[in-house]
Amino acid sequence: MKQDVRRCVTAGWVAAATLLAATGVQAQLRFDRGQNVAPVFEGWEKNPDGTFTMQFGYLNRNYEEIPDVPVGPNNMFEPGPADRGQPSRFYPRRQQFVFKVQVPADWGEKVLIWTVTANGRTDRAVGSLWPSWQIDDGVIKANRGMGIDGAPSDNQMPSIAVAGGTTLTVTRPNALTLTAVVGDDGIPGPKAPDKNVDDDTDLAAARLAAARARAARIQSPTNQAIVDARVARETGLALTWTHYHGPGAVTFDPMKAAVEGGRGGEVTTTVSFSEAGTHVLRGYADDSIHTTHIDVTVTVR
């Protein structure tokens, strides 16, 4: 536990310094639009095969604007391929652990740089395998707001699939219906029981009602955490959809949903598009610590 706390504190101080540098002297002012997007290196994990996974997020300093920065000269990685799976749609405020980049076992002391230019300002995140940047489940749990008491060692990744496949077509103004099938091992599970609830049936109903109420309060993309662990914490499992690539605005109904029972089920979402084109929708299954994503490519005519 002490090691987890030290890691959390170290990661927290480094992240805080990064964000302070990104926000500058105007940090206390609220801007709805016109501000920059600062990419953030969250840390790295070592994989069983000897390779490493770097995790990235970002800070969109706007409270309302969702900049669209296509992958290319203004949204790129170096060295190597410019496209490393990063988003091109940037939701407001701080979004953590958005995507992962795997690097080889012999990466050594090299750095991986993510550069984003938005609203006339260029910002960079520098990923490295420095020991101070190593993260584990406990660090992720703490940074997602779920406490600093470590994470269950036997927790498995949640699963997600989409009925009908991941390549779809729709014609405006028709909406698209997505049915996601999500599952989990039940760990870490729902939050501690409410002492005011008498039996298991009432408890499950109370948890689901609380999760739905929380999700309803944070459906708007202007809220800070799009993939919000607190929704998953009520029942143990939740689903969030995001607009990852593509033009215009995309509306999800619902954008976030808790899964009844916390171990698995289906969640149906209606998706509306403001513009034709090729869109990538990313769905996250969330057990309040880990997330597993799936990408759905939609051709909108």
pLDDT confidence band for 245 (50 / 70 / 90): very high
| Cβ neighbourhood burial of 104 (10 Å; 0-12, 13-18, 19+) | exposed
Structure confidence at residue 12 (pLDDT): 47
Q: Which of 284, 234, 239 is nearest to 261 (CA)?
A: 234
Structure confidence at residue 262 (pLDDT): 81
pLDDT tens digits for range 191-220: 876 556 555 556 566 556 665 655 555 555
Of 8-17, 54-63, 198-207, the least confident: 8-17
| All structural domains of the chain with their residue ranges | 2-143, 159-300
What is the residue whose two structure tokens read 């920059």?
Answer: 36
Structure confidence at residue 213 (pLDDT): 59
Q: Three-class SS of residue 240?
A: strand
Q: What is the CA radius of gyration of the chain?
A: 19
Contact 136, 1 (CB under 8 A): no
- Higher pLDDT, residue 209 or 41: 41
DSSP code of residue 247: S
Name the CATH code of domain 159-300 (choices 2.60.40.10, 3.40.50.10800, 3.40.50.1480, 3.40.109.10): 2.60.40.10
Answer yes or no: is pLDDT of 14 > 50: no
CA dihedral 143, 230, 19, 25 (to 10 degrees): -140
pLDDT confidence band for 10 (50 / 70 / 90): very low
Answer yes or no: is pLDDT of 152 > 50: yes
Burial per residue of 152-180, b for 16 or more beta-carbon CB atoms within 10 angstroms, e otherwise: eeebeebebebeeeeebebeeeeebebeb
What mean pLDDT, rounded, does the chain reach? 87
pLDDT confidence band for 1 (50 / 70 / 90): very low
The pTM of the full predicted model, rounded to 2 decimals, is 0.81
Q: Residues 39, 230, 289, 13: is their CA dihedral positive or negative?
A: positive
